[in-house]
């Protein structure tokens, strides 16, 4: 069943690519408009600065993406993603000590955010009626009688307008679409903001080709500091060695509930300040990966 001629998706990141996959069966053509020039491979880009941090692809999301794009998981693994069982393959240290390992039905594919996006992009590029237009900036919406009828954009050669039967906003958290709709006469949406005060500080490391025998783990999670006396009650730290494709890990320090940054000293690659408060298992202390990338 076709719902219309043209659907336009604003933003070509994870949500925009999934939206394009969902719309493709229902529209004659789907256009994805993306401000960045998109890399052919898994690379960071300006529009998605969070891609340097670890991204957990939770099971329900992974299943939903697999329904939209059959073969998604296989291609993620073919690209170097690691299909692991966190309860067996991850070492967790919390205030009570190391967690026992156990088998579980819950598995996860570990990879970088940029690899997830590259696989999604390849999948969408394989859809005959979907076109991704890169390097175009969406600048506004056109409306008529309470309906969105099209999209304004700027390209390297000038301004353009596209008529659309259906428009999806996937321009991320900074999207101006709400303000465009208010300017066009729609009532402002009521919104509530909960600032979770989450801070991530991440650095990517190459692991040695030969892992020391004590590194049975694939994923290492250290949380939280034992001595919480001087911290606010809700304050937690987490140190995460998150495995990704290419024999690399993202070393990430996170904090919740308190606006704190976790600086690293450039010269030594060692976390400074708050980072030192985390529990540090002795057996790993001397063997942190050496080469940061
Ligand atoms: C530190 C951190 C950790 C996270 N960890 C996880 C995690 O573990 N698991 C998880 O599932 N999620 C995680 N997230 C959330 C996840 O990153 C986002 O939910 C997801 O990337 C949002 O995708 P998106 O496609 O909606 O938007 P974005 O990825 O923000 O993309 C928006 C796109 O719109 C484009 N765009 C913007 N403006 C325009 C314009 N005017 N015209 C054309 N294009 C435009 C941008 O270039 C970009 O490509 C994390 C986020 C952060 C910040």
| 26 Cβ contact list (under 8 Å, min separation 6) | 1, 2, 3, 4, 7
Report which ligand 1 atom has the smallest distance to the Cα of 200: 1
pLDDT along the chain (293 residues), means of 10: 94 98 98 97 96 94 97 98 96 84 95 98 98 98 96 96 98 95 93 84 92 90 65 65 96 74 48 52 49 61
> What are the pocket residues of ligand 1 if the criterion is a CB atom closer than 6 Å to any ligand atom?
10-16, 33-36, 47-48, 50, 53, 55-56, 137-138, 170-172, 200
- For residue 271, the model assigns a pLDDT of 47
Report which ligand 1 atom has the smallest distance to the Cα of 46: 47
- For residue 269, the model assigns a pLDDT of 47
Torsions phi, psi for 28 (to 5 deg): -65, -40
* Residue 279 near residue 96 (C-beta atoms within 8 A): no
pTM of the model: 0.89
Centre of ligand 1 from the C-alpha of residue 216, in Å: 33
Cα–Cα distance, 102 to 76 (Å, whole number): 25
Substitution candidate for ligand 1 out of 9, 10, 11 with most atoms within 8 A of CB: 11
Domain ranges for the chain, please list them. Answer: 4-55+113-183, 86-110+194-292
**Domain 4-55+113-183 annotated CATH 3.40.50.300:** no
| 208 Cβ contact list (under 8 Å, min separation 6) | 289, 290
């Amino acid at each position: 069943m076709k719902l219309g001629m043209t659907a336009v998706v604003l933003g070509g990141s994870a949500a925009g690519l999934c939206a394009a996959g969902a719309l493709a069966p229902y529209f004659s053509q789907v256009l994805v408009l993306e401000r960045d020039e998109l890399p052919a491979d898994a690379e960071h880009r300006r529009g998605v600065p969070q891609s340097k941090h670890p991204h957990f692809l939770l099971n329900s999301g992974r299943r939903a993406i697999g329904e939209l794009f059959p073969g998604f998981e296989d291609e993620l693994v073919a690209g170097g993603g690691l299909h692991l069982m966190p309860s067996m393959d991850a070492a967790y240290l919390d205030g009570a000590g190391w967690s026992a390992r156990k088998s579980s039905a819950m598995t996860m594919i570990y990879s970088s955010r940029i690899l997830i996006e590259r696989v999604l992009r390849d999948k969408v590029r394989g859809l005959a009626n979907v076109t991704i237009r890169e390097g175009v900036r969406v600048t506004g919406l056109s409306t008529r009688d309470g309906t969105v009828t099209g999209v304004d954009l700027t390209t390297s050669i000038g301004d353009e307008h596209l008529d659309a039967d259906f428009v999806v906003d996937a321009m991320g958290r900074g999207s101006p679409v709400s303000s465009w709709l208010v300017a066009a006469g729609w009532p402002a949406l009521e919104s509530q903001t909960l600032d979770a005060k989450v801070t991530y500080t991440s650095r990517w490391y190459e692991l040695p080709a030969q892992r020391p025998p004590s590194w049975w783990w694939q994923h290492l999670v250290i949380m939280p500091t034992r001595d919480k006396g001087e911290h606010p009650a809700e304050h937690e730290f987490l140190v995460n060695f998150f495995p990704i494709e290419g024999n690399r890990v993202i070393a990430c320090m996170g904090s919740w509930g308190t606006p704190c940054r976790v600086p690293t000293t450039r010269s030594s690659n060692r976390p400074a300040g708050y980072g030192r408060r985390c529990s540090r298992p002795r057996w790993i202390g001397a063997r942190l990966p050496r080469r940061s990338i």
